[in-house]
Each structure stands twice: as C-alpha cells, then as structure tokens.
C-alpha cells in the first residue's frame, strides 16, 4: 500500500494528507481532522540577514578591496616613473586614481572601511616597494617621481577616507 503525503511548508507538522494519508480521516490515526497547519510567517524582513549581507559575503568584499589596493600598489610602483621633461607626469596622474578608487569603494560599501581597506593594500605594497633591499635594489626610488607617488598618494588616500560618508555597516543593519 502506497501512502501519499500532501506537500507542506518547511517546519510544518501537518501530516493529515487527506484520505489514505497518515493522520486524517481513513488514516492510521483514526477519524479526525489531524493537527492544525502551522501559521504562515509574518510578512517583512526576518531575523536573519538579507541576501548578500552574510558575513562571508562581507569578508569576501573586503578581501577583494584589499586585493584591488595591492594591485594598484604593484602597477603604480612599477609605472609611476614616466617623465615629460622634468615633470613626473605618471606619478601626478596616479594621484586622482588613488583618490577616486578608495572614495568610490567607500561609497559603494557604505562606509569609511570600504575606503580604508584598498588604501591599506596600496600602502602595504607601495612602502614595501620603496624599501631598500640588502642588494641595494628598490622599485620606488627617492626622486621626484617617487616622492610625488608616495607622499601625494598617501595624501590622496587620507583625503578619500576623510570625505567618504559613513552610513554604517551594511553588516549591522536590520
């Protein structure tokens, strides 16, 4: 004998299944209506996080922002020393980029942390590339291009972090 069970919502304990079912009239539980169906959940946001706001997604977003900052530092460290005459044009052109990227990421994430994370990745790589190795090699030299790139870049990053509006973390919103 095959019993068919009516589909119920998750968490429901309704096993009535109707005639031939598990708990309704004609079933093994004898005659009777069976247990009452579970009440429908209340409309509106539930107690859990909304889609896209889990801690894993937040961590992945901040991790990718850090990788973006590292990529900016590596590319900028090797490409900042182009000159037009005596003017370090590439280092100066990096300054709006170093302002715009953290500012935009902070606005997209919704807080200063979104601007701080790529800035930290850039600073970590840039100052590592500016440090002298035991062999005497370094990538960002102590010349006008290096000074514009490092010190102007830090000023651009600090300014971007300062002017980014903070709406609070999207991880903590209800």
Mean pLDDT of the chain: 79
Q: Which percentage of the chain shows pLDDT scores above 70?
A: 65
**HEC secondary structure over 21-32:** CCCCCCCCCCCC
Percent helix, percent strand, percent coil in the chain, to nearest 5 = 50, 0, 50
Most confident of 17-21, 44-48, 73-77: 73-77
109-150 tens-digit pLDDT: 888 999 999 999 999 999 999 998 888 788 888 899 999 999
Least confident of 43-52, 54-63, 93-102: 43-52
Checking 7-11 for CB contacts under 8 A at 24+ apart, the result is 8/37, 8/38, 9/38, 9/40, 11/38
- Whole-angstrom distance, CA of residue 54 vs CA of residue 65: 17
Residue predicted with more confidence, 142 or 31: 142
Q: Which percentage of the chain shows pLDDT scores above 90?
A: 51
Q: What is the structure's pLDDT at 73?
A: 95
Closest-CA residue to 103 (of 168, 57, 156, 173): 156
Q: What is the pTM of this model?
A: 0.65
Q: Reply yes or no on whether the pLDDT at 22 is more than 80.
A: no
Q: What is the structure's pLDDT at 135?
A: 82
SS3 82: coil
Q: What is the structure's pLDDT at 142?
A: 87
Q: Reply yes or no on whether the pLDDT at 15 is more than 70.
A: no
Q: What is the structure's pLDDT at 134?
A: 81
- Whole-angstrom distance, CA of residue 150 vs CA of residue 73: 10
- What is the pLDDT averaged over residues 151-171? 86
- Whole-angstrom distance, CA of residue 124 vs CA of residue 118: 10
- Whole-angstrom distance, CA of residue 172 vs CA of residue 105: 18
């Amino acid at each position: 004998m095959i019993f068919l069970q009516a589909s119920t919502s998750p968490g429901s304990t309704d096993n009535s299944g109707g005639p031939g079912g598990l708990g309704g009239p004609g079933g093994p539980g004898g005659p009777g209506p069976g247990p009452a169906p579970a009440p429908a959940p209340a409309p509106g946001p539930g107690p859990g996080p909304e889609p896209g706001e889990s801690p894993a997604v937040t961590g992945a977003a901040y991790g990718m922002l850090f990788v973006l900052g590292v990529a900016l530092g590596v590319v900028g460290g090797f490409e900042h020393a182009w000159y037009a005459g005596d003017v370090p044009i590439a280092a100066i052109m990096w300054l709006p980029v170093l302002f715009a990227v953290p500012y935009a990421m902070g606005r997209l994430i919704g807080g200063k942390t979104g601007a701080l994370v790529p800035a930290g990745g850039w600073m970590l790589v840039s100052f590592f590339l500016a440090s002298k190795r035991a062999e005497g090699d370094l990538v960002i030299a102590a010349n006008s291009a290096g000074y514009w790139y490092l010190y102007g870049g830090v000023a651009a990053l600090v300014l971007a972090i300062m002017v980014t509006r903070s709406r609070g973390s999207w991880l903590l919103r209800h």
